[in-house]
Amino acid sequence: MKNANKYTRQYFLPDEPCFDWTRRDRLDHPPIWCSVDLRDGNQALIVPMNLEEKLAYFQLLVEIGFKEIEVGFPAASDTEFEFVRTLIERNLVPDDVTIQVLTQSRDHIIERTFEAIRGAKRAIVHLYNSTSVAQREQVFRADKDEIVRIAVTGAEQIRDLARQTPGNFFFQYSPESFTGTELDFALEICNAVLDVWQPTPERKVIINLPATVELSMPHVYASQIEYMGKHLAWRDAIVLSVHPHNDRGTGVAAAELAMLAGAERLEGTLFGNGERTGNVDIVTLALNLYSHGVDPGLDFSNLPAIQARVEALTKMQVSKRHPYAGELVFTAFSGSHQDAIAKGMKWREEKSPEHWTVPYLPIDPKDIGREYEGDIIRINSQSGKGGIGYVLEQSHGFDLPPKMREQLGYAVKRVSDREQKELSADEIAEIFMREFVNLAEPLDLVELTGTDAKGMHRVRATVVWQGQQVEIEGAGNGRLDALCHALEEGLGIRVANLTYKEHALEVGSGSRAVAYISVDDEKGNTHYGCGVDTDIMEASAKALVSAVNRMLVHSGEVPLAVGK
Ligand SMILES: CC(=O)SCCNC(=O)CCNC(=O)[C@H](O)C(C)(C)COP(=O)(O)OP(=O)(O)OC[C@H]1O[C@@H](n2cnc3c(N)ncnc32)[C@H](O)[C@@H]1OP(=O)(O)O
Ligand SMILES: CC(C)C(=O)C(=O)O
């Protein structure tokens, strides 16, 4: 990148240390949230929303719980104007919600704005003009006094029209491009506007300090906000507001640090829609607070539904990696993450159901309407036994012994790697059934009968072995032991170190039992099999035969001839 010297710093630092905010590590209450989706978000869309879409979006914002909503720039277009009139005339704004409208500091635009909000129960008139060095020089070609005059003239006109127009109006001023403005000039212009509006603690004015373009690292923005909070006049009659954008990808960090530095109000949008890289994302900010145990005062308990509505109305897509909302953000494909999540979920269930500390998952996906199944653990060739076993257990109810999970894990990874694809829970179950359950090759158990006498169990089994139907018999201190002896004595198949586990299969229709058996071959390698049947005795015999079949196939052992 040979042109780096083309760029220089465009932001300004306070001329005194403003780092009190660094001593705070946590936000303990939410800011006053103001959604600017219908204005800053809308003005950045390829096709801005129409009247019906804006009405539907407004309804969504109200449902989520926003109490301040910037509904548009009424002088921008007939749609914008009509929308504001519709909200007021159809009485669609709840009593506890204040709408906000944006205006430039130009006569006819301010007049049109007041026509739009005539009769509003509560409306904030938001005045802005650009104050940065770049905009003063290049866009307005005006000196500081002229820029202050633009702001003051607009503020006076707004003050006067508010007196003459029916409705209940509050005021907000933004020195647009604040982050590229010298801080003493930002103070001067805000104070000049405040002098016009004469706020009181009972009727405050909002001073909104936008990172119109994010020019610095977030700690610089925080220090700028702290400085303004310390030095603005009329301090007890001001609500200090921020409006971060995300040009450097640190909009959320900037907003959080600004709140540590004293910002009381925050303007942003759902999922960060907005000019260029977007406004700061309120969903992320709210859920970050939530993950620290603070109720954000906004309801995102059904985030997938909110996302679907926003995507349909804005025709914008939320990225698969978007914090909290993205399709993949609660998903682990990789083995060690899956293992830790599966163990963490179990630990929580047993030890601490009221607290959430599950590794790799900053919040409980269920709290925002996400599902565990299919959302958290997904399987591909990077996955491990823990995750694969977890998916099989959650989806199909098989609770495999740990060593057996390992064997299934390798079988599943092989398929995913070979086919280069993710495997669904049903595909994993299919591999499990095919490789481990009720196996009848090369040995097929056709029939098994048994008797008990004086603690001794005897079995007779009909099996198909090497293409022939054979009767075998054996005795032992249990049915499985007797069947092992029958296999050894009748077919020369020797098994050692048998382990056994069983449980009821609760997932799926009908009550079935499942048994897992492992046997060791002569080299000491362990082979697992599984049996499923309505009868537990049948299930365990099938599990043994399945384990033996896997041993025969995988150990490469040549069994003795029939009848030996
Ligand atoms: C950071 C932000 O997001 S700010 C909000 C930006 N949003 C929008 O612009 C969307 C809605 N805007 C619009 O529909 C149009 O721009 C309108 C209707 C407001 C104005 O339209 P027009 O007058 O046709 O054009 P335009 O916006 O180009 O006007 C630029 C003029 O306004 C001046 N101007 C721009 N902003 C302001 C302001 N806040 N206060 C006073 N004058 C301003 C410019 O200096 C320029 O002046 P000039 O004519 O002397 O050169
Ligand atoms: C009008 C202001 C607040 C704005 O949208 C911005 O600076 O980004």
Q: What is the pLDDT of residues 123-138, one digit of tens each?
A: 999 999 999 999 999 9
Residues facing 504 on adjacent strands: 513
Pairing mode of beta strands 443-453, 456-465: antiparallel
Whether 509 shows a pLDDT value over 70: the answer reads: no
| Cα–ligand 2 centroid distance for 243 (angstroms) | 7
Cβ(533)–Cβ(513) below 8 Å? yes
| Cα–ligand 2 centroid distance for 7 (angstroms) | 23
Whether 454 shows a pLDDT value over 60: the answer reads: yes
Q: Tell me which residue of 300, 307, 293, 296 sits closest to 362, measured CA to CA.
A: 293
Mutate which of 37, 128, 207, 280 for ligand 2 pocket (most atoms within 8 A of beta carbon): 128
CA 178 to chain centre: 32
Nearest bound ligand to CA 176? 2
Residue ranges of domains in the chain, CATH in brackets? 29-299 (3.20.20.70), 335-436 (no CATH), 443-555 (3.30.160.270)
Q: What is the 3-state composition of the chain as percent helix, strand, coil, each rounded to the nearest 5?
A: 45, 20, 35
Q: Tell me which residue of 446, 496, 455 sits closest to 475, measured CA to CA.
A: 455
Nearest bound ligand to CA 109? 1
Whether 563 shows a pLDDT value over 50: the answer reads: no
Which whole-number Å values give the CA distances from 376 to 98, 303, 327, in the listed order?
A: 39, 16, 10
- Tell me which amino acid residue 332 is: A
Which whole-number Å values give the CA distances from 357 to 291, 333, 349, 423, 555, in the listed order?
A: 10, 20, 11, 28, 43
Pairing mode of beta strands 468-476, 456-465: antiparallel
| Cα–ligand 2 centroid distance for 157 (angstroms) | 20
pLDDT score, position 423: 97
pLDDT score, position 187: 98
- Measured distance CA(194)–CA(201) in Å, rounded: 13
Strand order in the sheet with 443-453: 443-453, 456-465, 468-476
Q: Tell me which residue of 374, 366, 376 sits closest to 428, measured CA to CA.
A: 374
pLDDT per residue as tens digits for the range 192-231: 999 999 999 999 999 999 999 999 999 999 999 999 999 9
Nearest bound ligand to CA 110? 1
Q: String of b and e for 193-226 (b: at least 16 CB within 10 Å)?
A: bbebbebeeeebbbbbbbbbbbbbebbbbbbbbb
Q: Residue 279 CA: which ligand 2 atom is closest?
A: 8
Q: Residue 140 CA: which ligand 1 atom is closest?
A: 45
Cβ(172)–Cβ(206) below 8 Å? yes
- How would you classify residue 141: left for phi > 0, otherwise alpha for psi between -120 and 50, otherwise beta? left
- Compute the mean pLDDT over every residue in the chain, rounded to the nearest whole number: 96
pLDDT score, position 561: 37
| Cα–ligand 1 centroid distance for 178 (angstroms) | 17
pLDDT per residue as tens digits for the range 176-188: 999 999 999 999 9
Mutate which of 103, 124, 174, 207 for ligand 2 pocket (most atoms within 8 A of beta carbon): 174
Q: How many Cβ atoms are within 10 Å of 563's Cβ, its own excluded?
A: 11
212 lines ligand 1 (CB under 6 A): yes
What is the percentage of the chain residues whose pLDDT exceeds 90?
A: 95
Q: Tell me which residue of 36, 12, 47 sits closest to 314, measured CA to CA.
A: 47
Q: Residue 176 CA: which ligand 2 atom is closest?
A: 7
Query: What are 462's two structure tokens?
Result: 């009909």
Sequential DSSP letters for 298-322: S--TTHHHHHHHHHHHH-----TTS
ipTM exceeds 0.95: yes
Q: Report the chain's C-alpha Rg in angstroms.
A: 35
Q: Identify the band that residue 559 occupies on the pLDDT scale cut at 50, 70 and 90.
A: very low
Sequential DSSP letters for 41-55: IHHTSSS---HHHHH
Nearest bound ligand to CA 44? 1
How much is the average pLDDT of 58-63? Answer: 99
Structure pTM?
A: 0.90
Q: Is 243 known to sit in a ligand binding site? A: yes
73 lines ligand 1 (CB under 6 A): yes
Query: Is residue 252 classed as helix, strand or coil in its secondary structure?
Result: helix
Provide residues with CB under 6 Å of ligand 2: 40, 102, 128, 174, 176, 208, 210, 212, 243, 245
pLDDT per residue as tens digits for the range 320-352: 999 999 999 999 999 999 999 999 999 999 999
